[in-house]
């Protein structure tokens, strides 16, 4: 039985995923798996069991089917868990049946995907638990491995988190370097953004309460509080409440040096979201393993 607190998201797919899988296999297999060629009979069949060695939230299981299909049409992938499930140590996540050689050849690429994505989902779930009851969402960032962003952001959702912007194209986010390079006042930039991209949210990063007080009257969709203390964050929330009129409410995002020890203090201060770069940029892998046995040993 799974331990899941939310509905798992739809798995991302597209030509980009085909390209990524092809590239990963080409990188690892190259001209051929010479060790398996030496050690394993082409006629040998096997069962491979992928299981958690430490407790965590699994993500990336739907990759196994298209990955192994590239190695052999005769490998059957049975998923015995679902992405977003919390697995205890020893709990199987998937079973592979078929020729032993391709099961072995795909082992490292399969585990690299699963361990990285499950690490993201597991760490995200810990942040979500840390802010439970505050109404604050945990967001990811664009600090992802190039080429892996859609998968990384999917894994965040598997852990109960939410996605910030997917790229440079789906939200206007005016940060400190934009402030330094701007060719007009901030108010003019916000007006320009609304005119050129009326369907996109506008967010402005600030690093002081003085900057916050300047931006708040512009009624942007989001203000990012960069490296604020919890005390300064509470003051920003108070200032926002004092300016709220009608149904309009600028949402506040805390970011910068957030960790499991302090994230609840920021969430409890009243922000709408906390964005956490370490969910994807330096996440530890979840320990999963693939154990192989020949069908004759069953």
Query: Does the annotation count 205 as an active-site position?
Result: yes
Which of the following is catalytic: 85, 205, 253, 272?
205
**Containing H/E element for 196?**
helix 186-196
Determine the Cα–Cα distance for residues 208 and 177; give it in Å rounded to an integer.
15
Report which of 170, 173, 154, 172 is spatially closest to residue 162, judged by C-alpha positions: 154
Query: Does the annotation count 203 as an active-site position?
Result: no
Q: What are 233's strand-pairing partners? A: none
Which of the following is catalytic: 126, 175, 251, 278?
175
Which of the following is catalytic: 4, 91, 95, 108?
108
Place of tokens 């092809």: 22
Q: Strand 45-52 and strand 92-99: pairing?
A: antiparallel
Query: Does the annotation count 296 as an active-site position?
Result: no
CA torsion through residues 147, 281, 166, 204, sign? negative
Query: Does the annotation count 143 as an active-site position?
Result: yes
Phi, psi of 96 (to 5 degrees): -115, 130
Which of the following is catalytic: 143, 234, 249, 251?
143
Environment class of residue 151 by beta-carbon count within 10 Å: exposed (0-12), middle (13-18) or buried (19+)?
buried
- Residue 196 neighbours by CB distance under 10 Å: 9
Which of the following is catalytic: 203, 226, 253, 272?
226
User: Where in the chain does DSSP place strands (E)?
Assistant: 45-52, 56-57, 76-79, 86-87, 92-99, 137-139, 172-174, 202-206, 222-226, 251-255, 273-275, 288-294
Determine the Cα–Cα distance for residues 151 and 83; give it in Å rounded to an integer.
12
Query: Does the annotation count 221 as an active-site position?
Result: no
Cβ 62 vs Cβ 82: under 8 Å: no
Annotated catalytic residues are 108, 143, 175, 205, 226
């Amino acid at each position: 039985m799974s331990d899941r607190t939310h509905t798992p998201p739809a798995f991302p797919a597209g030509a980009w995923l085909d390209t990524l899988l092809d590239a990963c296999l080409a990188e690892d297999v190259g001209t051929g798996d010479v060790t398996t060629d030496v050690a394993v009979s082409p006629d040998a069949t096997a069962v491979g069991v992928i299981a958690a060695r430490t407790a965590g939230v699994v993500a990336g299981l739907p990759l196994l089917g298209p990955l192994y299909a590239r190695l052999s049409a005769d490998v059957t992938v049975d998923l015995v868990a679902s992405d977003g499930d919390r697995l205890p140590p020893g709990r199987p996540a998937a079973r592979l049946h078929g020729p032993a050689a391709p099961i072995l050849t795909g082992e490292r690429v399969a585990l690299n995907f699963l361990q990285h994505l499950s690490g993201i989902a597991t760490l995200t779930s810990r942040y979500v638990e840390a802010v439970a009851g505050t109404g604050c969402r945990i967001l990811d960032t664009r600090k992802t491995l190039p080429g892996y962003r859609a998968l990384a952001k999917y894994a965040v959702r598997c852990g109960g988190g939410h996605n910030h912007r997917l790229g440079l194209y789906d939200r206007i986010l005016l940060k400190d370097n934009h402030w330094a390079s701007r060719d007009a006042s901030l108010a003019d930039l916000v007006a320009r953004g609304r005119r050129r991209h009326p369907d996109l949210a506008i967010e402005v990063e600030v690093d002081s309460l003085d900057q916050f007080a300047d931006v708040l009257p512009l009624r942007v969709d989001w203000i990012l509080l960069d490296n604020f203390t919890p005390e300064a964050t509470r003051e920003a929330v108070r200032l926002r409440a004092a300016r709220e009129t009608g149904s309009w409410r600028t949402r506040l995002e805390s970011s910068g040096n957030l960790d499991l020890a302090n994230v609840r203090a920021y969430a409890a201060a009243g922000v709408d979201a906390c964005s956490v770069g370490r969910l994807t940029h330096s996440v530890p892998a979840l320990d999963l393993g693939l154990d192989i046995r020949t069908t004759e040993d069953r």
